[in-house]
Amino acid sequence: MEYSSRSIGSGNDGFVWRTSRQTAVKVFWREDTYQRELACYERLRDRHVAKVKHFKVPRLIDFDDELSVIEMELVTPPYLLDFGKAYVDYRPEYSQDALDCWDEQYRELWGEEQWKMVRKLMASLTMVGIYYQDPTPRNIHFGETEEE
């Protein structure tokens, strides 16, 4: 896999680089996060999901179990990505209090309208067995309509 030295992001899970063939490689710190994200991208590939509503999700291109690296399509907004905290075919259980608190915090962060859409995106993902856990503006980008 050839890549230039162009970093396009970093976060809790690792680093993301743009390659010389217009793809993104995500290098993970931890194997469990790598495995979770890979399982989601494999599920999306198997179900031919390229978009959730009108939000693009990166297509899986390649991966390396030894290096914990995923190569994926480079996407532009609107997009939804980062499945490092998502689960396939497993719904984590939370108390109603925790869910209410979570809902309140994200509603404040996104605003009513966008949070409604983000919830719809997560509901669409559950239709293919993906339980998305990290609905932040770093991971879900609305594009031009987004208020920065």
- Residue numbers at the binding site for ligand ATP (CB under 6 A): 8-9, 11-14, 16, 24, 26, 58, 72, 74-75, 81-82, 84, 138-139
- Which residue is it, tokens 């499945």? 83
Partner whose binding site includes residue 135, from ligand ATP, Mg ion, none (CB under 5 to 8 Å by kind): none
| Beta carbon of residue 96, minimum distance to ligand ATP (angstroms, whole number) | 26
Are the CB atoms for 84 and 28 separated by under 8 Å?
yes
Partner whose binding site includes residue 74, from ligand ATP, Mg ion, none (CB under 5 to 8 Å by kind): ligand ATP
Cα separation, 44 vs 58, whole angstroms: 9
Partner whose binding site includes residue 26, from Mg ion, ligand ATP, none (CB under 5 to 8 Å by kind): ligand ATP
Bridge partner residues of 28 (DSSP): 14
Binding Mg ion by CB under 5 A: which of 4, 32, 138, 146?
Answer: 138
CA distances from residue 20 to 8, 86, 104 in whole angstroms, order as listed: 13, 28, 41
Partner whose binding site includes residue 16, from Mg ion, ligand ATP, none (CB under 5 to 8 Å by kind): ligand ATP
Nearer of residues 59 and 119 to ligand ATP, judged by Cβ:
59
Nearest to 55 by CA among 137, 148, 147: 137
Cα separation, 115 vs 104, whole angstroms: 10
